[in-house]
Amino acid sequence: MSKITVKFITLGCKTNLYESEGMASLFRAAGYQVVSGKEKADVCVVNTCTVTGTGAQKSRQQIRRARRENPGAVLAVTGCLAQTEADRLREDMDIDILIGNKYRNQIVELVELALRGIKTDKITPILKETDYEELGVTHSQSRVRANLKIEDGCNNFCTYCIIPYARGPVRSRSMVKILEEAQALGEAGYGEIVLTGIHLGSYGRDLGSGTGLIDVIEAVHRIEGIRRLRLGSLEPVMITEDFVRRAAQLPKLCPQFHLSLQSGCDATLKRMNRHYTTVQFRNAVELLRKSIPDTAITTDLMVGFAGETDAEFQESYAFCESIAFAQMHIFPYSIRQGTAAAAFPDQVEESVKTDRTHQMLFLAEHMKKAFYQKYIGSTASVLLEQEKNGRYHGTTANYMDVLVNGPTGMTGRIADVTLSGIEDQCLTGRIV
Q: Given this model, what pLDDT does residue 254 score? A: 98
Domain count, the chain: 3
Instruction: Report the CATH number at residue 84.
Output: 3.40.50.12160
Q: Given this model, what pLDDT does residue 142 score? A: 64
Q: What is the pLDDT of residues 57-100, one digit of tens each?
A: 999 999 999 999 998 999 999 999 999 999 999 999 999 999 99
Q: Which residues pair with 286 in a beta bridge?
A: none
**Does one domain contain both 235 and 273?**
yes
CA distance 298 to 231: 12
pTM of the entire predicted model? 0.94
**Does one domain contain both 425 and 405?**
yes
**Does one domain contain both 50 and 189?**
no
**Does one domain contain both 361 and 390?**
no
Q: What share of the chain is helix, strand, coil (3-state, %, to 5)?
A: 35, 25, 40
**Does one domain contain both 61 and 75?**
yes
Does residue 412 sit within a domain?
Answer: yes
Q: How many other C-beta atoms are found inside a 10 Å radius of the C-beta of residue 189?
A: 12
Q: pLDDT band at 242, cuts 50/70/90?
A: very high
For 105, the domain range is 5-122
Q: Given this model, what pLDDT does residue 36 score? A: 85
Q: What is the pLDDT of residues 268-300, one digit of tens each?
A: 999 999 999 999 999 999 999 999 999 999 999
Does residue 60 sit within a domain?
Answer: yes
Does residue 131 sit within a domain?
Answer: no
**Does one domain contain both 90 and 9?**
yes
Among 373, 392, 422, the domain-final residue is 373
Average pLDDT of every residue of the chain: 95
Instruction: Report the CATH number at residue 401.
Output: 2.40.50.140
Q: pLDDT band at 139, cuts 50/70/90?
A: low
CA distance 17 to 154: 18
Q: pLDDT band at 253, cuts 50/70/90?
A: very high
Does residue 163 sit within a domain?
Answer: yes
Secondary element (H or E) of residue 384: strand 379-388
Does residue 55 sit within a domain?
Answer: yes
Average pLDDT for residues 405-427, to the nearest whole number?
A: 94
Q: Given this model, what pLDDT does residue 37 score? A: 76
**Does one domain contain both 248 and 304?**
yes
**Does one domain contain both 152 and 296?**
yes
**Does one domain contain both 364 and 219?**
yes
